[in-house]
Structure 1
Amino acid sequence: MPSISTALVTAFAVSSFLVLYAYFLYPAGLWVVSRFVSRSTPTLAAADELPTVSLIIAAYNEEGVIADKIENSLGLDYPEDRLDIVVFSDASSDRTDEIVRSYADEGVELERIEGRVGKTECQNRVVDRVDGEILVFSDANCMYDDDAIRRLVARFGEGVDCVVGELRHTRTDDDVEGESLYWRYTRLVKRLESNVGSVVKGNGAIYAVRREAYVPLPADAMSDFAEPLAVRERGGRVEYAHDAVARERTAGSVEAERARKTRIATRSWHTVAQHLGLLNPLQYGRYSLQLFSDTVLWWTTPLLFVAAFASATALWFLTGSTFFGLVVAGFVALVLAGSVGHVLNRRGSSVPSLLHVPHYFLVGNYSLAVGAWNFLRGHNIVTWNTMNE
């Protein structure tokens, strides 16, 4: 019996520590290291010193927002003669193409891609057709602050080949605290990673790449994640521009967010598998630890939670320990709170933060688990739909 108890205690301690590390100790460590790193503050260049930019907007059946996106892009604080706006339509079947063509007189180009090949393949094809020194990638439902592109460009210092902007979610009646907490957390991690070296993850709403540094990607790769990885793999640095802001409405419901997160987790596992060499610390040093911590370990936390709960439950039954009894009670309370939040959400009722936060947390972990399972069985999701993008 003592050997069984020892094994269970070890399993509980290891799984609990890894979760604690992934959620708290990793960003805390980044913060400590960043205190010893000196970084210069970028300055905005004069208009006649700015590079040419191709703003590439991804669209699939975006008739409801594409006009707003184009108007937003035309109003950006960037010289007109140095900014090209290109919308690629992944075989849209609504009025998206018609709306984009109506802006042709204002210099907006439409690149229609037939065959519904997915965002990444569309992106590869369009990059071959544009001439900007800097490529900026955006989604149709993301609106940029006026100075967003100028602030992205300002980060392209020596050795920097990719810059990730900051995505902020605008509030709607459906917005709730769990999602808000999650996005604030991810923005903090990106900022800390950039302070100590290279940021690991991009986002499809706003990121930029030097034209000569762009790496064509496999169609099944998640472009906003895979491109920064590919850039780093080739020796370039990936910066985070917290002041280059894009704004996007949230998914609108936890269930819509679940579908989006599942798709992202599925594609992200496949993307990491295509860049396993980056996990070699002998070649990539601290970045390998960042990639492991912020992706592989983070995405396996659902399994770690299950291991911690199972071992704590077994130890409670074996030893009657008050400590492990409280741990089990905490897990059960979390699941019950999340379940009640789920029921209220399905009924369309208002969900208080005390219930929504655990609901959102459980849905996020469920999505990670499904994404891992999809990857293990060889399933991937190449195309995207407007409602869950």
Structure 2
Amino acid sequence: MVSFFRHKEVKRDTTYLPPVTLIITVHNEESRIKEKIKNTLELDYPRDRLQIIFASDASTDSTDDIVTSYADRGINLVRQPMRKGKESAQKYAIEQASGDIIVFTDVATMLEKDSIKNIVSNFADPSVGCVSSEDRFIDEHGNLSGEGFYVKYEMWLRSLESKVNSVVGLSGSFFAARKEICTDWPIDIPSDFNTLLNSIKLGFRGISDPLSIGIYKNIKNEKKEFMRKVRTITRGISALMANKELLNPMHYGIFSWQLISHKLMRWKVPFFMLTALFTSIYLALRSGFFRLVLLAELAFYALAGLGHRATSIHPIFKIPYYFVQANLAASYAWIKYFKGERFTTWTPSNR
């Protein structure tokens, strides 16, 4: 609703071509690293202004050897000798970055030819501190997947957040930031969320760019996808709790409201869902209206169950499943957070 009354334009400039460092974090990616290198070399950005760094988190397969074999084509490898996680590898690469703008991506994400130009053009606006890409999930046939519909909704929300003030989250698979924002880089907090929070604290804002597209396939193993969500939310909660001052609207104005409503409250949705279900059960014993409400809730959960079990079903019917899965992951993430688990290291998803 606020977006109807408040619209902050982004003063992008497609002729703005600052020095850029592209950092791609890897760990044991020998099976698909060549595809990523090929995709990277096809990017349309002046080569004398683009530094390409593959940051290896102590890979133990042939990933590092494959990367170094492309050294004569401008591909650089930095390797941290001990495995400390994605953020640690990124920090290691940032120390060697020469660009004014740093772009982060991963091996599983394919970038369109103009992606770097598009995402960097937003930094011509001095108010912009970081930029998120838009995600596109595809299945093995290249079609928009069921989760892709759900992600499309998320991307729409980000576009509204950008118009109002700032996004409250970046796509970890493809985002960019001014170099000065990347100096505070804790290795136990997700780099995408930390980058956004740093931007706000330094007086910038974060935006989503619909022209910067990151394309990646759904994770084949649904159990691994579930645990990826748990890990992401657990680390997001940790980051928010480490930056609680940003929840104070007296200091951070509308962004605090956005952070509470679009992040914190959404992570608490599973508790609201559980409360709504038990309340509906209780009231259904006394009211015909609430019997209908309860039936609607049960029908939604039945669709979620169908979406989980059915192999051939229209993607739109998968949406209830992904919604329920995401909120189950959020509830599990709260348990992990209160147990003190933080997930510093990671194993790249098999997409």
The equivalent position to 1:203 in structure 2, one of 171, 175, 190, is 171
Look up the match of 2:302.
336
Give the superposition deviation at 1:353. 4.3
Amino acid across the alignment from 2:159: R
Q: Residue 155 of structure 1 aligns to a residue in which SS?
A: helix
More helix by percentage: 1
Give the superposition deviation at 1:338. 2.3
Look up the match of 1:98.
65
Give the superposition deviation at 1:41. 5.1
Q: Is the 8 A contact 1:175 1:250 kept in 2?
A: no
Cα RMSD, aligned residues only = 1.9
Give the superposition deviation at 1:199. 1.2
How high is the TM-score relative to the length of structure 1?
Answer: 0.85
Q: Is the 8 A contact 1:214 1:231 kept in 2?
A: no
Give the superposition deviation at 1:387. 2.5
Structure number with larger C-alpha Rg: 1
Q: Is the 8 A contact 1:174 1:252 kept in 2?
A: no
Look up the match of 1:284.
252
CA distance 1:174–1:255, shift in 2 (3 Å): farther
Q: Which runs of 5+ in 1 are unaligned?
A: 1-28
Amino acid across the alignment from 1:325: R
Q: Deviations over 1:116-159 (max 9, x none)?
A: 10111111121111111111111111111111111111101112
Look up the match of 1:32.
4
CA distance 1:352–1:256, shift in 2 (3 Å): farther
Amino acid across the alignment from 1:310: F
Look up the match of 1:268.
236
Alignment of 1:159 with 2:127, yes or no, is yes
Q: Deviations over 1:203-261 (max 9, x none)?
A: 12211111123232222101111111112122112122111122111213543321221
Amino acid across the alignment from 1:42: R
CA distance 1:376–1:67, shift in 2 (3 Å): same
Q: Which runs of 4+ in 1 moved over 3 A?
A: 173-178, 253-256, 351-355
CA distance 1:329–1:73, shift in 2 (3 Å): same
- Separation in 1, partners of 2:103, 2:341: 29
Look up the match of 1:314.
282
Alignment of 1:365 with 2:332, yes or no, is no
- Separation in 1, partners of 2:244, 2:13: 35
Give aligned pairs, total. Answer: 350
The equivalent position to 1:73 in structure 2, one of 17, 40, 52, is 40
Look up the match of 1:378.
340
Amino acid across the alignment from 2:207: E
Q: Is the 8 A contact 1:260 1:388 kept in 2?
A: no
Q: Is the 8 A contact 1:259 1:388 kept in 2?
A: no
Give the superposition deviation at 1:313. 1.0
- Separation in 1, partners of 2:315, 2:8: 39
CA distance 1:40–1:263, shift in 2 (3 Å): closer
Q: Deviations over 1:84-104 (max 9, x none)?
A: 100011011222111101101
- Separation in 2, partners of 1:386, 1:213: 25
Q: Is the 8 A contact 1:254 1:363 kept in 2?
A: no
Q: Deviations over 1:276-334 (max 9, x none)?
A: 111110111111111111110001000001011111111222x2x11111111122222
- Separation in 2, partners of 1:58, 1:341: 33
Amino acid across the alignment from 2:14: L
How high is the TM-score relative to the length of structure 2?
Answer: 0.94
Alignment of 1:181 with 2:143, yes or no, is no
Q: Is the 8 A contact 1:206 1:246 kept in 2?
A: yes
CA distance 1:323–1:174, shift in 2 (3 Å): farther
Look up the match of 2:53.
86
Q: Which runs of 5+ in 2 are unaligned?
A: none
Q: What are the equivalent positions in structure 2 for 1:191-230 lying under 5 Å apart?
A: 191-230=159-198
Q: Is the 8 A contact 1:178 1:357 kept in 2?
A: yes
